[in-house]
Amino acid sequence: MITIVSLLECNDASTGIATRIMRSIPLSVLTNNLAQIYELYKKVYKNGEYTLAAFNHMNEEFDESKEPREYYELIIENGFNIYILINLFLDNSNKHESAEDEELNEFIKQFPEDNVSQLFKNSVFGEVTKLGKSLFMDCLGCVKTMKKNIIDKSFGAGEDEKELKASQKEVEKKQLIREAVSFFRSNMAHIEIVRDGQLQKIYFPLLPFCKFLAKSLKTEFHETVTRTSTKAKLADLMEKADFLIEHMKHDEKLAQFFNKYKLIGILGNHVKLWEYASFYIGLVLNIFVISSYTSDAPDRLKDPYLFLDFDIKNTKEIFTILGILNLVFSSLVVANFFLKRAPVLLGDIWKGFFTAKFSLIKTPLKFVFKVIQSLFKGLKDFDILYYILVIMFALFGLLVHPFFFFFQLTDFLRIELLKNVVKAVWIPRASLGLTFLVFVLLEYYFTLIGYSFFSSHYATGRCESLWNCFLTTFDNTFKVKSFILFVNVQVHWCPGCLPSRSGPDRL
C-alpha cells in the first residue's frame, strides 16, 4: 500500500499510471479490505474511540496473553492508505472517464457527506438537535442489541433462517462499508501544494487530538499571526505549535472522560446549548427589568412591577426563577471553560507539585505561593476574568438587585461582527490615546486664552478658576456647536419660537 500510494502521490495524470493500477486492483478488493480493517477496529475498540493507541500495532510483539489476536491484526494505517488510494484514483483519472472511473465515482456517490447537520450547526436549533441525536443514538444501540438477541432466539435451523441470515449478512456488509467510508473520510485531511507549476493534493490521516482544535484558538491565530511574509507566518505557527498541541491533547482527554461517563458527558458535550440558554435567559431578564421599574411602585428601586400587570411579589418570583436558571447555565459554561483552559494555562505552575514529597513546612508555603501565582497569571487572561465577572454579576443580580443582570448583555460583544467593531477601537488604542492627548493639549491652550481675555463670556461661576474654566471649555466644546446648529435651524424655520436672551449667559 505504501508503494502504490507513493507511485500515485504527486503523479501527473497524463502518464496513465493510475489507470493501470486501477485495472490491476479491482474496487471490490479495496472496499472489502477497507471494511475488514474497520470491522477489526470496531472489535478492538468497542466504544468506537479513535485514539493514538489504534496506530503502530505492527511494531508490537505478538502476545495473546496481553491482547487478543484481532489487536495485532488491526493495521489501521492500511485503512487510511486504501482510502488515500481511492482519492488518488479520482485525482489522477483522465478527463475521458474509463469504466474504472465510472465505477469509482458511482461508489463514492453512494456515500454522500452529511451536510444536513451543518445547516443549523451554529445555532440553538443545531445544539438541541445534537443533544437529541446523542440521546437517540444511545437508545437505538440498546434497541438493536435487544432486537438481535430476539431474532437469534426466535428462529431455528431451517431454510428460512439461512435465507434470512444471508439477506441480513448482505445488508450488514453494505452498512459496514458505509460506516468504514464515513470513518476514514472523517479522519482524513489533505493539503494542497504547488509542484512543477501544478496544484497537487497530499492526503494524510488526521491524528485523534487534531480534531479537538478549538475554533476560538484557530480564530485567534488567524487574527494575530504575522502576515508580512510566508516565512514570518510559518515562524509564528511553529512558535505556537506546542501550545496548540497541548490544548488539543487536553481537550481530547476531556472528551474521552465525557464519553466514558454519559451523564457528565451530557453537561460537558453540549456547552454551546448552555451558552445559548444563558444568553437568552439573560436577555429576557433585562427586558423584564426595563419593563418593571416605575415611580408608580411604593419604592421605585426595590419594588418591580412587571408590565404594570403582575403584582410585586409575583414579579420578584419571576426574577428569582430566571436568575437561578441563568446562574445554573452560566455555571455550566464557566465550569467547562475552566476545565479546558485552567490545566493548560496553569500546568507549568503546578507541574510536579502533587507528586513531590510532602513537607510540613515547605509544602503549605509552596501551595500558597502557587495559588497566588496562579491567580496573578489567570487574571491576566481576558477570558478567565470575563467568566469570573459573569458568575459574580449573576450572583449579585440574584442576591442583591436585578439591575446587576445588565452584565449578561455583554455577550453581545462576543458576537463575531461586534468583536470586530471593538477590535477596531482596541487595536489602535495607542494612536487613539495620543490623539486624545493632542485634543486635551489644544483644550488647555484655548482655556489659557479664554481665562485671560474672555472670562466674561463664560456663564456665571464657570470660569472663576483656571481648573473650572478648563472643565467648562472641555465640556462645551461639542455641546455649544451642536446648540448653535440647533438655533440656526430653529431661526430659519421658526424665527419666533426661541425666547430672546441677552447677557453673558445667552448661550
CA dihedral 67, 68, 69, 71 (to 10 degrees): -60
- Residue 195's SS3 state is strand
- 458 and 324 belong to one structural domain: no
Closest to 89 (Cα-Cα) out of 108, 109, 75, 67: 108
Q: Which residue has the cell 489476536?
A: 69
Set of cell numbers at residue 170? 448482505
As to burial, measured by CB atoms within 10 angstroms (0-12 exposed, 13-18 middle, 19+ buried), residue 89 is buried
- 384 and 461 belong to one structural domain: no
Residue at 229 is within a domain: no
- 194 and 72 belong to one structural domain: yes
What's the pLDDT at 142? Answer: 62
The CA-based angle 424-428-433, given to 5 degrees, is 120
What is the rounded CA–CA span in Å between residue 311 and residue 321? 16
Set of cell numbers at residue 149? 438477541
CA distances from 482 to 194, 470, 494 (A): 60, 19, 18
Is the Cβ–Cβ distance between 107 and 31 less than 8 Å? yes
Is the Cβ–Cβ distance between 249 and 347 less than 8 Å? no
Please enumerate, as own/partner, the contacts of 40-45 that have beta carbons within 8 Å and a separation of 24 or more. 40/70, 40/73, 40/74, 41/74, 41/76, 41/79, 41/183, 43/70, 44/68, 44/70, 44/71, 44/74
- 371 and 276 belong to one structural domain: yes
DSSP letters for 79-104: HHHHHHHHHHHHHH--SS--HHHHHH
Question: Which residues 6+ apart lie within 8 Å of 298 measured at CB?
Answer: 312
What is the rounded CA–CA span in Å between residue 106 and residue 93? 14
- 439 and 421 belong to one structural domain: no
What is the rounded CA–CA span in Å between residue 194 and residue 203? 14
The CA-based angle 156-157-160, given to 5 degrees, is 85
Q: Element (H or E) spanning 194, and its range?
A: strand 188-195
Residue at 97 is within a domain: yes
What's the pLDDT at 490? Answer: 45
Q: Decide which of 153, 184, 206 is a domain's last residue.
A: 206
Please enumerate, as own/partner, the contacts of 467-472 that have beta carbons within 8 Å and a separation of 24 or more. 470/443, 470/444
Other residues' Cβ atoms within 10 Å of the Cβ of residue 304: 23
Per DSSP, the chain holds a count of helices (H) and strands (E) of: 19, 2
Residue at 222 is within a domain: no
What is the rounded CA–CA span in Å between residue 51 and residue 213? 15
Residue at 168 is within a domain: no
- 285 and 336 belong to one structural domain: yes
Q: Decide which of 408, 426, 444 is a domain's last residue.
A: 426
Residue 4 amino acid letter:
I
What is the rounded CA–CA span in Å between residue 49 and residue 468? 71
Other residues' Cβ atoms within 10 Å of the Cβ of residue 348: 10
CA atoms within 13 A of residue 173's CA, in its CB half-sphere = 10
Is the Cβ–Cβ distance between 60 and 73 less than 8 Å? no
Closest to 254 (Cα-Cα) out of 208, 189, 220: 208
Set of cell numbers at residue 222? 488567524
Other residues' Cβ atoms within 10 Å of the Cβ of residue 57: 19
- 418 and 446 belong to one structural domain: no
- 399 and 457 belong to one structural domain: no
- 358 and 466 belong to one structural domain: no
Closest to 426 (Cα-Cα) out of 413, 438, 439, 437: 413
Residue 38 amino acid letter:
Y
Number of domains in the chain: 3
Q: Which residue has the cell 462645551?
A: 476
Set of cell numbers at residue 68? 487478543
Residue at 216 is within a domain: no
Set of cell numbers at residue 330? 452560566
Residue at 506 is within a domain: no
What are the two backbone dihedrals, phi and then psi, of residue 200, each rounded to the nearest 5 degrees? -130, 155
Residue at 366 is within a domain: yes
Closest to 77 (Cα-Cα) out of 182, 254, 203: 203
Closest to 221 (Cα-Cα) out of 243, 210, 237, 234: 237
DSSP letters for 430-456: HHHHHHHHHHHHHHHHHHHHHHHH-GG
Residues in the chain predicted with pLDDT less than 70, given as ranges, are 12-15, 92-166, 308-310, 415-418, 480-507
- Domain span at residue 27? 1-110+173-206
- 280 and 410 belong to one structural domain: yes
Set of cell numbers at residue 411? 455577550
- 289 and 419 belong to one structural domain: yes
What is the rounded CA–CA span in Å between residue 325 and residue 277? 9
Question: Which residues 6+ apart lie within 8 Å of 110 measured at CB?
Answer: 178
Q: Decide which of 151, 186, 206 is a domain's last residue.
A: 206
- 412 and 292 belong to one structural domain: yes
State in Å, rounded, how far the first CA of the chain is from the last one: 88
What are the two backbone dihedrals, phi and then psi, of residue 67, each rounded to the nearest 5 degrees? -135, 155
